[in-house]
Structure 1
Amino acid sequence: MTAGGGLAGHRARLHAEMERGGAWPADSPWLREAFAALPRDRFAPDRLWRWDGGAYVPLDRADDPDGWADELYSGAHSAAVTQLTGGLPSSSLSAPSVVADMLDSLRLEPGHRVWDIGTGQGWTAALASWRAGPGLVVTTEVDESLAASARARFVAAGLTVEATAGDGTAGGPPGGSPVDRLHATYAVETVPWSWVEAVRPGGRIVYPWGRLGHVALTVADDGQSATGWVQGLAQFMGDRHGPAQAGTGTAAYAAVRGDAEPETGRALDRDPADLDDWNLRFALRVAVPHAVLLTAPDADGTNAWIHDGHRSWAALAARGSGVPPLLSQGGPRRIGDEVLATWTQWEELGRPDLYDYGITVTPDAQWAWQGDPATRPRWPIGQRGPGADLTAGAASARALLKDEAPE
């Protein structure tokens, strides 16, 4: 089988997998047609990168067309790495299910003007153009070589899409006119106010939020705020000019802890296995945004390791049936206590799922909220950096439960 002859089969299998998994959004039936008209392979470079367990290795279309196609269509929930920088992924074709979910969240209609930020290979901008219409999508890419490649793909696909090179995080849309929709394909922890200013009142902004989740905001009628709900659990590469995100593997935890001995330790009355609940994980992502969590089972049960990418760490160790797990931690902040306080808060709030959270953005502040943007608990965004002294985390959590501002 060659990649050219077998691509139709790969496309069909992807569409079938999306169907079986309920990944085609019911409110955006146009996405099925757009995916068929503009298949993923038409926007993929001739070299992809596959993780072999130790490093990323190249897959060249000319040398291994089957392997290339297999990697590109490895699954509805799988991204394909298209560029490395310093040995790490710096651009990718996002997972098809996530692309569909985010474009559905955009509530895109024919005639909408769209600013797509983070062009990459150009696939999402192409899909948006299929829906909005010719000349209504402009896309911005910080990497000039990627922008140039995307321009060529748009022309080859018969699309009228403007692709510009620039930093979409720092500026506004080319031309300066307000747009109806803004779609970002790289993660930011805080929304640049220029994005809100770029969108007309009533328009929507869809973006990946930091290391976990994507959000859809609606700009207020007066243009002085934007607010909206979490839409899903997507994980995207971060803004290239933003602060580096802490590593998520065991090596990152080991680097933070080093050879430090625990400074505190105590038995726990809860099971670290519960930390595999993604709704709880999202609550932790909201309230303890710099905490990186890993879990893994062994013969005694599920263990958990937490770090902040700086100097603080915690371990929740299973010790077998009938023996309570042990919490040990060290560093300038008691990050294990922060996680436990948030865990308790989440239970007291009724164990809300991730879709019960939202974000509000104003010129001066941003915050996440649960349940209701005006009356329910809220957490500031972007006001605390890694390594901050957050030993008052438990008190803050209790105060937020009472809709009070912690000191």
Structure 2
Amino acid sequence: MSFVKHQLRLADDMERRGQWPERSPWIPPELGVLQRDRFAPDRLWTWDGQAYQPIDRATDPTRWTTEVYAGADEPAVTQVNDGIATSSLSAQSLVVDMLDALLLEEGHHVLELGTGTGWNAGLLARRTSTQVTSVETDPALAGPARQRLAAAGTQVAVEVGDGNAGWPANAPYDRVIATYAVDQVPWAWLEQTVPGGRIVTPWGHLGHVALTVAADGRTASGWFQGLAMFMPARGTAPARRYRQVREEAPPTGDRPFLRALEPLRDDWNLRFALRVALPDLQISTAVDQDGLNAWIHDRTSWASLTATGGGRTVTTQGGPRQLADDVEQAWDQWIAQGRPSLYEYGMTVEPDRQYVWAATHTPAPAGQPARRPMSFDIELVRPKSLTCAD
């Protein structure tokens, strides 16, 4: 079966939407060589609204192909454990965006954390023309990825280990890229990157950042590049569902909510600002006959923003935190700061902390990131064991 037409369809879609990065002209030709289907396992998984269901290439090749090439912004789930998706063949547009952010050049020594299917590692190796080191926690993923990469003729050393520890045996690296999300950037990644080197990683459940290591190797700073949504490191506590939290925390009262909810659904700059200010919150929205509704929760508290018709909204809250109040305060702060876009945010990582800042429009002093008055400190906790999943 030829998959060329499917790859061309994704390429045309990205061209039409202006998603090919001008500074990385090497990417489209390499995607034409290392097509997605070459790195997809014979069993994929799809969500039916209740659970993940298998799609087997041998018994349903057409549906399997449709899943692999569903769209430029669509991943394909490649592994499910205990009903939870734990690895995927990432969306093509996201892979392209992160490869572009890496500023990869021929001859660079690269470390990848989270081998997954091996597709991203193969693209890295073809660009650098050197051996790439890729670390995968799951031997069940590492073995097949190693075979696919060898069959594709790429130079990738797939190692089994904890991605958060990097791979010191082959350090230092010019470039480091993670294919799983971290809330705190592991200090080991900075220690294993050369001064002036670049680290690209998804950050928590929304956004990916590109950091440049300082000349003294003691800090790294850089800008957020987009809205990557990757699976978290294995070992991360699973997110709780809104219903679970609400069942455990009775409501403490309700009141009118006096602002339109559409920005919570449509304005990703606001959503990112709320993620920065309130990183533990989960926000979802849906429309019913009365209008747009929203649900907010963390691990112990919840808030519902319920449309009651006529453009009116009521919020009901429960738990130790008043989450609707917290969202309003962070929303007001974002407005007061001039509604910075996600591309105006950056991150600095130091040995004992990391913090996110929003940039001014004026030049910063040499070697220093410009900031608005708001700066959000995030405790840099080094978990005992975090593992990686693409």
Which TM-score applies when normalising by structure 1? 0.88
8 Å CA contact retained: 2:285, 2:295: yes
Instruction: Kindly provide the CA deviation profile for residues 239-263 of structure 1, in whole angstroms up to 9, marking residues without a partner as x.
Output: 002333x24xxxx111101175421
Secondary structure at the aligned position of 1:228 is classed as strand
8 Å CA contact retained: 1:268, 1:325: yes
**Are 2:199 and 1:205 aligned?**
yes
**Residue 277 (structure 2) aligns with:** 287
8 Å CA contact retained: 1:38, 1:127: yes
Candidates 330, 335, 351, aligned match of 1:347:
335
**Residue 275 (structure 1) aligns with:** 264
Candidates 159, 169, 180, aligned match of 1:164:
159
Secondary structure at the aligned position of 2:222 is classed as strand
**Residue 330 (structure 1) aligns with:** 318
Candidates 375, 379, 394, aligned match of 2:376:
379
**Residue 9 (structure 1) aligns with:** 5
**Residue 107 (structure 2) aligns with:** 111
More strand as a share of residues? 2
Give me the whole-angstrom Cα distance separating, in 1, the residues matched to 2:380 and 2:159. 32
1:346, CA displacement in angstroms?
A: 0.9
8 Å CA contact retained: 1:116, 1:139: yes
Amino acid across the alignment from 2:247: G
Amino acid across the alignment from 1:111: G
1:233, CA displacement in angstroms?
A: 0.6
Kindly report which structure 2 residues correspond to 1:116-131, keeping only aligned pairs within 5 A, or say none: 116-131=112-127
The percentage of aligned residue pairs carrying the same residue is 53
**Residue 356 (structure 2) aligns with:** 368
Candidates 300, 305, 325, aligned match of 1:311:
300
**Are 2:208 and 1:229 aligned?**
no
Amino acid across the alignment from 1:143: D
Give me the whole-angstrom Cα distance separating, in 2, the residues matched to 1:149 and 1:21. 34
RMSD: 1.5
Kindly report which structure 2 residues correspond to 1:188-199, keeping only aligned pairs within 5 A, or say none: 188-199=182-193
Instruction: Kindly provide the CA deviation profile for residues 256-303 of structure 1, in whole angstroms up to 9, marking residues without a partner as x.
Output: 011754213222221122211111111110000011001111222211
8 Å CA contact retained: 2:134, 2:157: yes
Amino acid across the alignment from 2:302: W
1:176, CA displacement in angstroms?
A: 4.0
Amino acid across the alignment from 1:54: Q
1:380, CA displacement in angstroms?
A: 1.5
Instruction: Kindly provide the CA deviation profile for residues 92-130 of structure 1, in whole angstroms up to 9, marking residues without a partner as x.
Output: 010000000000000000000000110001000100001
8 Å CA contact retained: 2:221, 2:347: yes
Give me the whole-angstrom Cα distance separating, in 2, the residues matched to 1:108 and 1:84. 32
Amino acid across the alignment from 1:353: S
Amino acid across the alignment from 1:209: W
8 Å CA contact retained: 2:206, 2:275: yes
Give me the whole-angstrom Cα distance separating, in 1, the residues matched to 2:196 and 2:147. 33
Secondary structure at the aligned position of 2:125 is classed as helix
Which TM-score applies when normalising by structure 2? 0.92
Kindly report which structure 2 residues correspond to 1:52-201, keeping only aligned pairs within 5 A, or say none: 52-135=48-131, 137-169=132-164, 171-201=165-195
**Are 2:29 and 1:19 aligned?**
no
Secondary structure at the aligned position of 2:356 is classed as strand
**Residue 402 (structure 1) aligns with:** none
1:41, CA displacement in angstroms?
A: 0.7
Secondary structure at the aligned position of 1:194 is classed as helix
8 Å CA contact retained: 1:300, 1:319: yes
Instruction: Kindly provide the CA deviation profile for residues 212-251 of structure 1, in whole angstroms up to 9, marking residues without a partner as x.
Output: 111100001110000111111111000002333x24xxxx
8 Å CA contact retained: 1:273, 1:303: no
8 Å CA contact retained: 2:45, 2:77: yes
Secondary structure at the aligned position of 1:319 is classed as strand
